[in-house]
Amino acid sequence: MWVLSRKDALAALKAEEFDVVVIGGGVTGAGVALDAASRGYSVAIVERADWASGTSSRSSKMVHGGLRYLQNFDLGLVREALMERQLMVELAPHLVYPTPFLVPSLGDDRRNRMIGIGLNMYDVMATTRVGSSRRERKRETALRGEGSDEAPDPERWAPDRHRTIPGEEAAELVPALAALDPREAYLFYDCQTDDVRLVLTILGEADRFGVVSLIGVEVTELIQENGLAAGVSCRETESGEEFEVKAQNVINATGVWADRIRPEEIHDEAEVPRIAPSRGTHVTVSQDDLEIGTAACIVPAGEDRTIFALPWYGRTLIGTTDRDYEGELSHIEPSGEDVDYLLSAVNSFFATDLSRSHVTGAYAGVRPLISTGDPRKSVDISRKAELYETSSGMLTITGGKLTTWRRMAKHVVDRLVEREGRVAPCRTADLPLGMPADDSDLAALDANGHDALRTLLRFRYGQFSARILRLAGEDEALMAPISNGMPDILAEVLIAARFEQARSVGDVLLRRTRLGILAAPELRTEESVGPVAEILGAELGWSEKEVASSAKAWLDEAAAEGIDPAAAA
Ligand SMILES: Cc1cc2nc3c(=O)[nH]c(=O)nc-3n(C[C@H](O)[C@H](O)[C@H](O)COP(=O)(O)OP(=O)(O)OC[C@H]3O[C@@H](n4cnc5c(N)ncnc54)[C@H](O)[C@@H]3O)c2cc1C
């Protein structure tokens, strides 16, 4: 939730000289901004399009260790991600929550022993008490107070060990399995979130530490003084106005675009590998069409591959694919072939008959791959974070995962601190991310109604829900749903424009809410998004013509993003 208006943020960017400027408003850049500011740096962060509009809105929304990385024996990475998973549940309990995952065996299938072995390792690596590292035990003691004999908090979430459950229990957890008469299933736990809301929440905390942050600001070049980075040249995308942001340190957190800032410096000096993106596609369908309840299910998808079906915002989220991608990166459209592949894998496992007409939304993101020439041997480097320091002093951070954003940010800011010879330990492991709502924050909702809205507000906004409901209380029209059949309400549009920098219908539908990928067929016409455009227009001072053109721009954006495969067919 931002304090500065766009006008004031722009003025501050132009006038102030910062310690640090961060380029890129995905989870990595947001994390760096929060970490640096909480260690006492003055920080600016600029994003070309919208917060999280890159890969950070296109993930599978899991905060996880990554069971599949165990196959490559990336034990350190899995362990690190599992520790971060634990921490995220503690720091943002309203936004990062555990979900049961099932690996069912059907018919004559034997339980896959390799999965059992992998899950045993996953259990061991997720353990923070017994078997916890000395450093972690020290941290736990430090958090409770030195010399304290107080026991660790029993309320702390710790995943249960995996176990095998009988078929009936599996079918209770995932109703879509019932008709298949499953023999048994492995049950383990991982966590889920809303990737965009995670980014916005991190930025909201950064704002409290005085970070100046703005979207619609593209970095065009590095400014150098005496060979050293001294800030960035920018262009405000709407007005085209060019200006400079002065800063002693420049952090490049532009994800798959990392080699577009100073390409010669990045490739020649740091030997950052040239990346060959691979596309990961996801679709959502109604739980009426594939009822997976509140548990996730791992689904075989041929050739030893698996996909998953996850419960998310009341829908079933199915993903993901992994295919070479050569298109442009600003709008990554899910291919029809990928959508059909996901639906066909689900159909053959669950014996369903899902087609593109059942899809309630689709999206795709790209992972960076090191191309070895042989596509079958391409190495997925996206999970491994790398920090590059080049001759100008610019720090470029690439790779990693949504889950490990905090560690990546720490890595960057540790290097800043080290090269300045300062002593400033990282604080983000102890900084709550947002505040969970309590019952009084949601008291404005009837005790016996609005269950879906109550759940949604708690998850998405935590304590800030009270503010949204206050606005809705002042104007009843704001309690109306943005899209029929979905719980999101029009008051959220106002909040998005007033406190979260949203500037377009797409910002609201694709990122502040996720309706664009949850209810795409309901948002096919200008009329269907009219109320969103009108509320944005009233808040941002648009003319009637601008309101109309923003509704139309949504249709173009939705088509470019390919969120509605049935409409595209
Ligand atoms: C299909 C898929 C599924 C995934 N699922 C998971 C998962 O379930 N769990 C998990 O932990 N991880 C997952 N990941 C990984 C995770 O999503 C990424 O590691 C993470 O989102 C990358 O964040 P980032 O901030 O580095 O990059 P991005 O989110 O791409 O942010 C970079 C930003 O920089 C901006 N930018 C670029 N150039 C400029 C410029 N010149 N000026 C200003 N701004 C600029 C872009 O607009 C963009 O917003 C997944 C990745 C993919 C592809």
The pLDDT score that the predictor gives to residue 130 is: 40
Task: Tell whether the model's pLDDT for residue 101 goes beyond 60.
Answer: yes
Q: What is the CATH number of the domain that holds 462?
A: 1.10.8.870
Average pLDDT, integer, range 490-501 = 97
Cβ–ligand 1 contact at 255 (below 6 Å): yes
28-60 confidence digits (pLDDT tens)? 999 999 999 999 999 999 999 999 999 999 999
- The two structure tokens encoding residue 162: 């995996």
Ligand 1: which residue has its CA nearest to atom 4? Answer: 59
Query: What pLDDT is recorded for position 147?
Result: 41
* Number of separate domains in the chain: 3
Which of 254, 329, 380 should be mutated for ligand 1, with most atoms under 8 A from CB?
Answer: 254
Domain identity same for 524 and 446: yes
How far apart are the CA of 208 and the centre of ligand 1, in A? 23
Evaluate whether residue 467 is within a structural domain. yes
Residue 232: give the domain boundaries: 6-57+196-275+379-430
| Residue scoring higher pLDDT (176 or 259) | 176
For the segment 237-254, the average pLDDT, to the nearest whole number, is: 97
Within a 10 A sphere around the Cβ of 95, how many other Cβ atoms? 25
Same domain, 421 and 464: no
Q: Is 356 exposed, middle or buried (0-12, 13-18, 19+ CB in 10 A)?
A: middle
Residue 180 CA to ligand 1 center (angstroms) comes to 37
Q: Is 17 helix (H, G, I), strand (E, B) or coil?
A: strand
Confidence check: pLDDT of 146 > 50 = no
Question: Using alpha carbons only, what angle is made at residue 179 by residues 176 and 184, rounded to the nearest 5 degrees?
Answer: 80
Give the burial string for 20-58 (b: 16+ CB within 10 Å, else e). bbbbbbbbbbbbbbbbbbbbebbbbbbbbbbbbbbbbbb
| Phi, psi (rounded to 5 degrees) for 63 | -105, 100
pLDDT for residue 131 is more than 70: no
Residues 476 and 496 occupy one common structural domain: yes
Residue 452's alpha-carbon distances to 258, 438, 448, 457, 512, in angstroms, are: 39, 16, 11, 9, 17
Whether residue 41 contacts residue 55, with contact meaning beta carbons closer than 8 Å, is answered with: no
Helices (H), 444-484: 451-461, 465-474
Strand partners, 213: 45
Tell me: cis bond preceding 403? Omega within 30 of 0 counts.
no
Q: Which of 365, 364, 356, 287 is nearest to 521 (CA)?
A: 356
> Nearest CA to 278 among 324, 309, 237, 312?
324
**Residue for token digits 């998850």?**
459
Mean predicted confidence (pLDDT) in 176-204 = 96
Tell me which amino acid residue 409 is. A
Q: Which of 430, 465, 500 is the last residue of a domain?
A: 430
| 303 shares its domain with 182 | yes
* Percent of the chain whose predicted confidence (pLDDT) is above 70: 90
Separation in Å, CA 197 to CA 30, 194, 476: 12, 5, 26
Residue whose structure tokens are 């309590």: 438
Which of 193, 401, 405, 561 for a ligand 1 pocket mutation test, highest count of atoms within 8 Å of Cβ? 401
Query: pLDDT tens for residues 437-491?
Result: 999 999 999 877 899 999 999 999 999 999 999 999 999 999 999 999 999 999 9
Across the range 363-377, mean pLDDT stands at: 64
- Domain annotation covers residue 86: no
pLDDT at 377: 43
271/190 Cα distance (integer angstroms): 35
- Give burial (CB, 10 Å; 0-12/13-18/19+) of 114: exposed
| The predicted structure's pLDDT at residue 140 | 54
Domain with residue 174: its CATH number is: 3.30.9.10
pLDDT score recorded for residue 383: 63
Structural tokens at position 309: 């079906």
Q: Residue 419 falls within a domain, yes or no? A: yes
CA-proximal residue: ligand 1, atom 26 (nearest): 255
Q: How far is the CA of 346 from the centre of ligand 1 (A)?
A: 27
% of the chain residues with pLDDT over 90: 75
Residues 459 and 554 in one domain: yes
- Residue ending a domain, among 377, 396, 414, is 377
Average pLDDT (418-441) is 96
Does position 419 have pLDDT exceeding 80, yes or no?
yes
Asked if 295 contacts 311 with a C-beta cutoff of 8 angstroms, the reply is: yes
Question: What is d(CA 49, CA 63) in angstroms, rounded to the nearest whole number?
Answer: 25
Residue 59 Cβ inside 6 Å of ligand 1? The answer reads: yes
User: Domain boundary residue among 377, 394, 418?
Assistant: 377
Best residue among 252, 261, 278, 402 to mutate for probing ligand 1's pocket (most ligand atoms within 8 Å of CB) is 402
Beta-carbon contacts of 102 under 8 Å, excluding residues fewer than 6 positions away, are 165, 170, 173, 174, 177, 185, 186, 187, 295, 296, 297, 298
Q: In whole angstroms, what is the distance from residue 26 CA to residue 51 CA? A: 6
- Ligand 1 touching residue 397 (CB < 6 A): no
Domain co-membership, 414 together with 446: no
| pLDDT confidence of residue 327 | 85
The answer to whether residue 92 is domain-embedded is no
Which atom of ligand 1 is found nearest the CA of 364?
Answer: 1
Do 82 and 115 touch, CB atoms closer than 8 A? no
Q: Based on the domain organization, do 445 and 551 belong to the same domain?
A: yes
Residues 312/317/319/325 CA torsion (nearest 10 deg): -90
> Is the beta carbon of 400 within 6 A of some atom in ligand 1?
yes
Check: CB of residue 402 under 8 Å from CB of residue 195: yes
CA 306 / ligand 1 centre spacing (Å): 23
Does the beta carbon of 254 lie inside 6 Å of ligand 1?
yes
How far apart (Å, rounded) are the C-alpha atoms in residues 6 and 167? 55
Of the listed ranges 9-18, 321-330, 379-388, the least confidently predicted one is 379-388
Q: Are 403 and 547 in the same domain? A: no
508 and 360 co-located in one domain: no
Flag whether pLDDT at 151 surpasses 50: no
Query: Can you give the CATH number for the domain in which 202 is found?
Result: 3.50.50.60
Contacts of 344 by beta carbon, 8 Å cutoff, 6+ apart: none
Based on the fold, state whether residues 559 and 467 are members of the same structural domain: yes
Phi, psi of 363 (to 5 degrees): -155, 160
Average pLDDT over residues 82-111: 91
Amino acid 510: pLDDT:
98
Distance of alpha carbon 558 from alpha carbon 556, whole angstroms: 6
pLDDT score of 178 more than 50: yes
pLDDT in tens, 280-322: 999 999 999 999 999 999 999 988 889 999 999 999 999 998 8
Q: Are both 248 and 397 inside the same structural domain?
A: yes
Q: How confident is the model at residue 271 (pLDDT cuts 50, 70, 90)?
A: low
239 in any annotated domain:
yes
Is residue 243 in some structural domain? yes
pLDDT digits (tens, 9 = 90+) for 51-96: 999 999 999 999 999 887 777 777 888 999 999 999 999 999 999 9
CA distance 322 to 324: 7
Query: Does an H or E element contain 163, and which?
Result: strand 163-166
How far apart (Å, rounded) are the C-alpha atoms in residues 49 and 332? 14
CB 20 within 8 A of CB 251: yes
Structural domain contains residue 77: no
Do 241 and 177 lie in a common domain? Answer: no
Ligand 1, closest atom to CA 281? 1
For residue 152, give the nearest of 164, 144, 160 by alpha carbon: 144
Cα 419 to Cα 149: distance, rounded to the nearest angstrom: 38
Mean pLDDT over each residue of the chain, to the nearest integer: 90
Whether 150 is covered by a domain: the verdict is: no
